[in-house]
Homo-oligomer: A and B are copies of this chain.
Amino acid sequence: MTTELEDLAGRLREFARVREWERFHTPKNLAMALAGEVGELVAEFQWLTAEESGSPDPDALARMRTELGDVTLYLVRLADVLGVDLLEAAQSKLDDNELRYDADSYRGSARKAPPSPPAT
């Protein structure tokens, strides 16, 4: 991971250690907590039109920022507990997507590509 993501992961390790919360931070529980926070993030957009979502008012943007922060905390913590490098996992997935969704075939289209071997 990057130095700053590593720093955040380290801060989260200490945060859990000092409060003796490690036993709650099983990957299973962290995945659930992440899902809970993503639910709160989604709720910020549910009644907005696409256009409104692109230009949120300051209060709405502040709430979105808060929820994005919560999601990031649990994502980084979960990856750290599992020993997964988030940046590498993301870059690797994007490499795959660049091959599967070649620009000529998929320009302007949202259709899903067939699974590439090995099946994800």
Contact = CB atoms under 8 A, between A and B. Distances in A.
A89 B65 contact: yes
A68 B84 CA distance: 8
Contact of A31 (B3, B45, B63, B93): B45
Interface in A36-95: 36-51, 53-54, 56, 61, 63-66, 68-73, 75-76, 78-79, 81-82, 84, 86-87, 89-94
Interface of A is mostly: helix
Interface residues of A, number: 76
A94 B12 contact: yes
Interface of A: 2-5, 8, 11-12, 15, 18-21, 24, 26-29, 31-51, 53-54, 56, 61, 63-66, 68-73, 75-76, 78-79, 81-82, 84, 86-87, 89-94, 97-98, 101, 103, 106-108, 110, 120
